[in-house]
């Protein structure tokens, strides 16, 4: 993880403030419990790697202040983002799908 989150105070499970979402997602690659990884670029592009396969999409912050992703040709989803904090250090992000309530955690590599 890059130092762009250094000095940022967060509580485990607290919602990532809208203005901090870009810094949170671009702070480093995320690895998920199934071994998949994801990177986010400041220009809104994202890449998801799973079982040797790469998928490319776009991310943004929507008008409601939620993290939003688009995976061509037509998959869109919006998420609440929450901090994952251990020993007072931000170690990852928790994504909760607004439509289905599915939750998954990504840890910074």
Cα torsion angle, 37, 102, 22, 63, sign: positive
Phi, psi values for residue 25, rounded to 5° = -80, -25
Tell me if 54 sits within 8 A of 68, measured CB to CB. Answer: no
Architecture in CATH of 3-108: Beta Barrel (2.40)
- pLDDT over 70, % of the chain: 97
Report residue 33 as tokens: 């419990």
pLDDT tens digits for 63-96? 999 999 999 999 999 999 999 999 989 999 999 9
Task: Report the pLDDT value the prediction gives residue 1, as an integer from 0 to 100.
Answer: 47
Tell me if 105 sits within 8 A of 16, measured CB to CB. Answer: no
Q: Which of 93, 96, 104 is nearest to 33 (CA)?
A: 104
The pTM of the full predicted model, rounded to 2 decimals, is 0.90
Tell me if 96 sits within 8 A of 82, measured CB to CB. Answer: yes
For the chain, what's the residue count? 109
Task: Report the pLDDT value the prediction gives residue 41, as an integer from 0 to 100.
Answer: 97
């Amino acid at each position: 993880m890059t130092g762009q989150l250094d000095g940022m105070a967060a509580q485990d499970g607290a919602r990532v403030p809208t203005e901090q979402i870009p810094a949170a997602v671009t702070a480093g690659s995320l690895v998920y419990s199934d071994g998949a990884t994801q990177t986010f670029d400041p220009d809104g592009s994202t890449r998801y790697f799973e079982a040797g396969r790469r998928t490319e999409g776009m991310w943004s912050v929507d008008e409601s202040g939620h993290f939003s992703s688009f995976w061509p040709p037509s998959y869109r989803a919006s998420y609440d983002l929450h901090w994952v904090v251990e020993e007072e250090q931000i170690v990852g992000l928790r994504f909760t799908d607004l439509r289905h309530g599915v939750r998954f955690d990504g840890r910074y590599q």
